[in-house]
Amino acid sequence: MHRTVSIERGAAWYAEGWRLFTKSPGLLIGMTAVLVLIMLLLNLIPFLGWLISMLAVVLLAAGLYVALDRLHKNEPAGFNLLFAGFGELFRPLLILALIFVGAQIVISIVIALVVGGGMMGATLMGGMMPGGEPSPEAMASMLQAGMTALMLALILALPLFMAYTFAVPLVCFSKREPVSSLKESFFAVAANWAPFIVFGLIYIVLAVVASIPFMLGWLVLLPVLFAAGYAAYRDVFAEQPNVMTP
């Protein structure tokens, strides 16, 4: 069962994630960099690249969490752990990944229908002017459709984010079934909305800073984010508070 933590824990997760990161920065940077590279290469595959990459990211993320758990316990951790998700936990993680892909497809279809409806409305409301440009009515209709699609995407993505925040570590460490892990993650994030708002606001600042020197800061920020997520999991689902503190 999850527990509700105080609002300042949202910032503490970064501090604890940083301490965990410093235990083996080279390993974590290397693992994260290879994960991103694999995702980029898979997306180059025509048609099925996106689907395969979305499945792979869940399995590879599990490997990162396993490595972080080893480092937290001061146990040996090697680069091979990046592929730990392809071992005995492959089946539940694959189901989790398939649900993730299915949810994204549904969201994309809904957004496409909204945008398509907006385009049709634009055509009915005046279409093109003699010079080949959209009429003011059509422009207004398309703009409204775009804004509606954006808001809808954010609304639909939020519960998906909440369901997957802790789903992978719950499968890896708590041996939860995929659907059960999604439910527990969703309600855990909902119960801890305040620290997650703090976590998100700090993330925005760190993302801007990491992007300034040619995006090089992301080499550190990405593994720290994973480590902070692991710290949050330990904090929210552990019986004792501050389990990551040395």
Domains in the chain, number: 1
Q: Within a domain: residue 149?
A: no
Instruction: Look at residue 151 in the predicted model and tell me its pLDDT.
Output: 84
Q: At what angle do helices 49-72 and 25-42 cross, to 10 degrees?
A: 170
Residue 44 domain-assigned (yes or no): yes
Q: Say if CB 222 and CB 36 are below 8 A apart.
A: yes
Distance in angstroms (rounded) separating the CA atoms of residues 23 and 62: 19
b/e per residue 111-144 (b: at least 16 CB within 10 A): beebbeebeebbeebeeeeeeeebeeebeebbee
What is the full DSSP assignment across 195-213? HHHHHHHHHHHHHHHHHTT
Residue 49 is assigned to a structural domain of this protein: yes
Residue 22: the pLDDT is 97
Cα(141)–Cα(145) distance, rounded to whole angstroms?
6
Per-residue pLDDT of the chain (246 residues; tens, 9 = 90+): 899 999 999 999 999 999 999 999 999 999 999 999 999 999 999 888 989 999 999 999 999 999 999 999 999 999 999 999 999 999 999 999 999 999 989 888 888 887 776 666 555 555 554 555 656 666 666 677 677 777 888 888 899 999 999 999 999 998 899 999 999 999 999 999 999 999 999 999 999 999 987 888 999 999 999 999 999 999 999 744 343 333
Tell whether 122 is covered by a domain: no
Q: 3-state DSSP call for residue 184?
A: helix
In-domain check, residue 101: no
Return the residue matching tokens 């041996």.
175
Is 130 inside any structural domain?
no
Encode burial over 30-61: b for 16+ CB neighbours within 10 A, e otherwise: ebbeebeebbeebeeeeeeebbbbbbbbbbbb
CA neighbor of 180 nearest in space, from 166, 195, 191: 166
pTM reported for the whole predicted model: 0.86
In this structure, is residue 222 part of a structural domain?
yes
Task: Tell me if 244 sits within 8 A of 16, measured CB to CB.
Answer: yes
Q: Which domain holds residue 183?
A: 9-91+165-237
Residue 150 in any domain: the answer is no
